[in-house]
Amino acid sequence: MDWYPLYNSLRIAAISCVLVFFTGIFFAYYASRLPRLVKGILDVVLTLPMVLPPTVCGYFLLLVFGMRRPVGAFLAQHGIRFVMTWYGGILAASVVAFPLMYRTARGAFESFDETLAYAGQTLGLSNTYIFWRIRMPACRQGILAGTVLAFARALGEYGATSMLIGYTPGRTATISTTVYQLWRINDEAGAMFWVLVNLAISTVVLLTVNMLETRQKHMR
């Protein structure tokens, strides 16, 4: 039994999730304090990957990071190539999952009671402390929801991933690309197996979130 697709999918999803967690929060925080017009424009740009077909995202990624494109060629000279490598999957999954984190976190930040931050400032608390100890805990519901959505999206990413890193068994194969490949070569049992694996992971993730949420309610 080759477990590589599971291992690869999990590490791509986990690393993308961490990346998207920080970048999403960063952009959400700054976007929520921008003037309305700038925010509107930034919002469209940052949300586009969510509404574009993933294959179109993959196409754009190839336009930038393709081996014959300036950026891709430059990176290749330094030993980094996103095309047909497992870590290219991180790039693809992150781009597609980013808007989910960004939008949910932004919603949470916008409903934050700003007087809490002001109170912290007048009490002499540093802005870093206020952000991590006051703003983030108050917004944790939205941020947690965003993180889970981003993880789930990254785990299930197919379109952009297959465009950018293709399917190479044991090197770039993920669960979703494996399902497609096995089905294509009429290995229905194999495809079904990976479908069940995917279902199991998603169920566990959702159950965990529900449990965390109910526990928080009890703690309040």
- Provide the minimum distance between the beta carbon of 91 and another protein in the complex, in angstroms, as a whole number: 35
Binding region for another protein (CB under 8 A) out of 3-11, 113-121, 186-194, 197-205: 113-121
Binding region for another protein (CB under 8 A) out of 36-44, 87-95, 111-119, 163-171: 111-119
User: Which string of x and - marks every residue 134-173 that binds another protein (by CB under 8 A)?
Assistant: x--xx-----------------------------------
Please give the structure tokens belonging to residue 126: 């540093």
Cβ–Cβ under 8 Å, residues 81 and 72: yes
Q: What is the CA radius of gyration of the chain?
A: 20
2 vs 113, which CB is nearer to another protein?
113
Q: How far apart are CA 158 and CA 178, in angstroms?
A: 10
Interaction of residue 215 with another protein, rule CB under 8 A? no
Interaction of residue 220 with another protein, rule CB under 8 A? yes
Please give the structure tokens belonging to residue 136: 């983030």
Q: How far apart are CA 23 and CA 95, in angstroms?
A: 11
Helix 88-110 × helix 54-65 angle, to 10°: 120
Cβ–Cβ under 8 Å, residues 46 and 99: yes
Interface residue with another protein among 41, 71, 80, 119 (CB under 8 A) is 119
77 vs 122, which CB is nearer to another protein?
122
Using DSSP, state whether 85 is helix, strand or coil.
coil
Cβ–Cβ under 8 Å, residues 4 and 170: yes
Interaction of residue 44 with another protein, rule CB under 8 A? no
137 vs 170, which CB is nearer to another protein?
137
122 vs 186, which CB is nearer to another protein?
122
Interface residue with another protein among 55, 126, 208, 214 (CB under 8 A) is 126
Interaction of residue 125 with another protein, rule CB under 8 A? yes
- Alpha carbon 171 to chain centroid, angstroms: 21
Q: How far apart are CA 207 and CA 199, in angstroms?
A: 12
Residues in contact with another protein by CB under 8 A are: 113, 115-116, 118-126, 129, 133-134, 137-138, 220
